[in-house]
Structure 1
Amino acid sequence: MIPYGHQNINQDDIDSVVNVLKSDYLTQGPQVPLFESSIATLTQARFAVASSSASAMLHVACLALGVSKGDRVWTSSITFVSSANCALHCGAEIDFVDVDISTANMCPKALELKLQLAEQGGTLPKVIIPVHMAGHSCNMEAIGRLARQYNIKVIEDAAHGIGGYYQGRAIGCCQYSDITVFSFHPVKIITTAEGGVATTNDAELAKRMRLFSSHGITKEIEQLVRPDEGDWYYEQQHLGLNYRMTDLHAALGNSQVHRIGDFIERRHQLVARYQQLFVAMNLKVVTPLSDSVSAYHLLIIQLPDCVDRKFVFNRMREMGVCVHVHYFPVHLQPYFMDLGFKAGDFPNAEHYYQHCLTLPLFPDLTFEQQDEIVTSLKGLV
Structure 2
Amino acid sequence: MKMIPYGRQDISEDDIQAVANVLRSDYLTQGPVVPAFEKSVKDYCGAKFAVAVNSATSALHISCLALGVGPGDIVWTTPISFVASANCALYCGARIDFVDIDPLTYNMSMDCLSVKLEFAEKEGKLPKVIIPVHLAGQPCNMAAIHSMSERYGFKIIEDASHAIGGRYLDAPIGNGRYSDITVFSFHPVKIITTGEGGMALTNDPEIANKLVRLRSHGITRVQEEMTHITDGPWYYQQLELGFNYRMTDIQAALGLSQIKRLDEFVKKRRKIADRYNKYFADLWVTTPFEAPDSYSATHLYIVRLKLNEIKFSQKDIFEWLRSCGIQVNLHYIPIYRHPYYEKMGYIKKDYPQAEAYYAQAMSLPVYPALSDLQQEEVVQRMNTPIGFQTLF
For Structure 1 versus Structure 2, the TM-score category normalised by the shorter chain is over 0.9
**Cα shift readout 1:301-323 (whole Å, capped 9, x = no counterpart):** 00013341111011101001010
Q: Is the 8 A contact 1:178 1:200 kept in 2?
A: yes
Paired residue for 1:340, among 341, 345, 350? 345
Number of equivalent positions: 381
Deviation at 1:187, TM superposition (A): 0.3
Alignment pair present for 1:38 and 2:40: yes
**Which residue in 2 is equivalent to 1:62?**
64
Paired residue for 2:220, among 218, 221, 231? 218
Deviation at 1:332, TM superposition (A): 1.1
**Cα shift readout 1:200-239 (whole Å, capped 9, x = no counterpart):** 0100000001111110001112222233311111100011
Alignment pair present for 1:266 and 2:293: no
Alignment partners' CA distance in 1, 2:63 and 2:225: 20
**Which residue in 2 is equivalent to 1:350?**
355
**Which residue in 1 is equivalent to 2:387?**
none
Alignment partners' CA distance in 2, 1:360 and 1:287: 17
Alignment pair present for 1:376 and 2:378: no
SS at match of 1:99: coil
Matching residue's letter, 1:373:
V
Moved more, 258-267 or 218-227: 218-227
| Counterparts of residues 321-340 of structure 1 (less than 5 Å) | 321-340=326-345
Q: Is the 8 A contact 1:137 1:288 kept in 2?
A: no
Alignment partners' CA distance in 1, 2:362 and 2:103: 13
Matching residue's letter, 2:153:
N
Paired residue for 2:144, among 142, 145, 160? 142
Deviation at 1:258, TM superposition (A): 0.2
**Cα shift readout 1:125-157 (whole Å, capped 9, x = no counterpart):** 000000000000001111111111101000000
Alignment partners' CA distance in 2, 1:160 and 1:339: 28
SS at match of 1:296: coil
Q: Is the 8 A contact 1:332 1:342 kept in 2?
A: no
**Which residue in 1 is equivalent to 2:49?**
47
Alignment partners' CA distance in 1, 2:356 and 2:244: 39
**Which residue in 2 is equivalent to 1:291?**
293
**Which residue in 2 is equivalent to 1:301?**
303
Alignment partners' CA distance in 1, 2:82 and 2:125: 25
Moved more, 116-125 or 225-234: 225-234
Q: Is the 8 A contact 2:307 2:314 kept in 1?
A: no
Alignment partners' CA distance in 2, 1:330 and 1:212: 27
**Which residue in 2 is equivalent to 1:98?**
100
Matching residue's letter, 1:202:
D
Paired residue for 1:365, among 370, 373, 382? 370
**Cα shift readout 1:165-222 (whole Å, capped 9, x = no counterpart):** 0001110011111000000000000000000001101000000011111100011122
**Which residue in 2 is equivalent to 1:28?**
30
The gaps in structure 2 that reach 5 residues or longer are 385-390
Deviation at 1:113, TM superposition (A): 0.1
Q: Is the 8 A contact 2:280 2:287 kept in 1?
A: no
Q: Is the 8 A contact 2:230 2:236 kept in 1?
A: no
SS at match of 1:67: coil
Alignment partners' CA distance in 1, 2:14 and 2:339: 44
| Counterparts of residues 134-213 of structure 1 (less than 5 Å) | 134-213=136-215
**Which residue in 2 is equivalent to 1:74?**
76
Paired residue for 1:252, among 239, 251, 254? 254
**Cα shift readout 1:61-107 (whole Å, capped 9, x = no counterpart):** 00000000000000000000000000000000000000002111000
Alignment partners' CA distance in 2, 1:279 and 1:109: 29
**Which residue in 1 is equivalent to 2:284?**
282
Alignment partners' CA distance in 1, 2:257 and 2:49: 20
TM-score (norm. length: structure 2): 0.96
Q: Is the 8 A contact 1:325 1:358 kept in 2?
A: yes
SS at match of 2:156: strand
SS at match of 1:154: strand
Q: Is the 8 A contact 1:136 1:287 kept in 2?
A: no
Q: Is the 8 A contact 1:60 1:213 kept in 2?
A: yes
Q: Is the 8 A contact 1:49 1:198 kept in 2?
A: yes
Matching residue's letter, 2:198:
G
Alignment partners' CA distance in 2, 1:367 and 1:182: 29
Matching residue's letter, 1:336:
Y
Deviation at 1:345, TM superposition (A): 2.1
The gaps in structure 1 that reach 5 residues or longer are none
Q: Is the 8 A contact 1:284 1:303 kept in 2?
A: yes
TM-score (norm. length: structure 1): 0.99
